[in-house]
């Protein structure tokens, strides 16, 4: 059995104090939003407690689907690098970026360079990453799709275009030929009408077409800060699409409280079994607990 944990959107704090020059772009709007809406409800203590519980579960691997930072300030990117190193070794953690990690032009590449060891394809030697990435752990293939791109103010769209689509199709086919359980990681939700227009994945229909033609066993995303389970059509059966709340969301807010998902994967090609347990906070002052159990593939053991 292989156990895969999933968190997303930690939005690591505290926010470094930006200079006036650093705020002379889209960041000014994000800075105001952080001060007004996120500073008090997305906290390091909540994140720390969640991760302590996650580590106690001793998963075989951890997937993080983006938005490690808030405004992609240079110091934030470095702080996220230090956080990843404190969290665990690079071969235990796989990361894809979110829109906040690519908040302004140039920040995505800076984050890629700082977090390279946690994002790159196995045995990758270059200083830049080609997406989608591919990391194999036991019989689980973790395919990292990049939907992050700097956008205009008030926009948080993601992008999935033809170049990635072609490579994703190849990777899905190759992993299938090796009998691997295929997990696709992406920040933006690929399902129809999963979020607001200004936060949507541009190219989502193309992504769904690739999955419909080539298949996958599991798709993980973040971005919405919601605990959702949906599916998109595959060649033989529906593919589970799972989102998890922000890992730093305090209980009692208008979004679901901090949580992580744990996927227990067993079986073999053609007969996979995948069971999901969600653990997190439910109400203020209460400890972390199981929030739900769902059989995604196969039958209950």
What digits encode the pLDDT tens for the residues 125-165? 767 789 999 999 999 999 999 999 999 998 999 999 999 99
Distance CA 266, CA 199 (A): 35
pLDDT digits (tens, 9 = 90+) for 228-285: 999 999 999 999 999 999 999 998 888 999 999 999 999 999 899 999 999 999 887 7
Question: What pLDDT score does 160 carry?
Answer: 98
Each residue's pLDDT tens digit, 28-76: 766 566 666 665 555 688 999 999 999 999 999 999 999 999 999 999 9
42-46, 111-115, 186-190: range with lowest mean pLDDT: 42-46
What pLDDT score was predicted for residue 123?
85
Beta carbons within 10 angstroms of residue 163's beta carbon = 10
C-alpha 157/C-alpha 191 separation (Å) is 14
Contact (CB, 8 A) for 215 and 235: yes
Domains in the chain, start-ordered, CATH in brackets?
2-297 (3.60.21.10)
Which DSSP helix (H) or strand (E) runs through 111?
Answer: helix 107-114
Q: Does residue 11 contact residue 69 with C-beta atoms inside 8 Å?
A: yes
Instruction: List CB contacts of 159: < 8 A, sequence separation 6 or more.
Output: 147, 149, 201, 202, 203
Contact 60, 52 (CB under 8 A): no
Distance of alpha carbon 5 from alpha carbon 28, whole angstroms: 34
Write down the pLDDT at residue 288: 95
What is d(CA 77, CA 63) in angstroms, rounded to the nearest whole number?
18
Beta bridge partners of 230: 241
Cα–Cα distance for residue pair 2/60, rounded to 1 Å: 6
- Residue 292, classed as helix, strand or coil, is strand
pTM of the model: 0.94
Write phi, then psi, for 128 (nearest 5 degrees). Answer: -130, 160
- End-to-end, the C-alpha distance of the chain in Å comes to 12
Could you tell me which residues are beta bridge partners of residue 295?
275
Question: CA 277 to CA 261: how far, in whole Å?
Answer: 6
Q: CA quadruple 43, 52, 296, 237: dihedral positive or negative?
A: positive
């Amino acid at each position: 059995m292989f156990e895969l944990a999933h968190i997303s959107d930690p939005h690591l704090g505290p926010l470094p104090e930006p200079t006036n020059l650093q705020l002379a772009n889209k960041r000014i709007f994000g800075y105001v939003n952080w001060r007004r809406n996120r500073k008090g409800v997305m906290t390091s203590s909540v994140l720390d407690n969640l991760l302590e519980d996650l580590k106690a579960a001793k998963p075989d691997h951890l997937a993080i689907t983006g938005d490690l930072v808030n405004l992609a300030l240079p110091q934030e990117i470095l702080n996220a690098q230090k956080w990843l190193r404190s969290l665990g070794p690079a071969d235990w953690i796989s990361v894809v970026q979110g829109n906040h990690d690519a908040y302004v032009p140039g920040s995505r590449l800076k984050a890629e360079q700082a977090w390279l060891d946690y994002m790159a394809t196995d045995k990758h030697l270059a200083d830049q990453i080609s997406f989608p990435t591919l990391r194999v752990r036991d019989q689980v293939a973790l395919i990292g799709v990049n939907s992050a791109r700097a956008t205009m103010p008030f926009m948080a769209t993601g992008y999935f275009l033809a170049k990635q689509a072609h490579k994703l199709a190849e990777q899905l086919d190759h992993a299938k030929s090796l009998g691997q359980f295929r997990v696709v990681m992406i920040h933006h939700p690929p399902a129809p009408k999963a979020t607001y227009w200004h936060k949507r994945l541009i190219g989502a229909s193309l992504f769904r077409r690739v999955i419909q033609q080539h298949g996958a066993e599991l798709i993980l995303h973040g971005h919405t800060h919601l605990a959702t389970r949906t599916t998109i059509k595959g060649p033989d059966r529906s593919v589970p699409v799972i989102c998890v709340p922000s890992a730093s969301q305090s209980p009692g807010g208008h979004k679901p409280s901090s949580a992580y998902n744990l996927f227990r994967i067993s079986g073999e090609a053609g007969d996979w079994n995948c069971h999901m347990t969600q653990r997190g906070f439910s109400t203020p002052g209460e400890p972390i607990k199981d929030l739900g159990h769902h059989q995604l593939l196969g039958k209950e053991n």
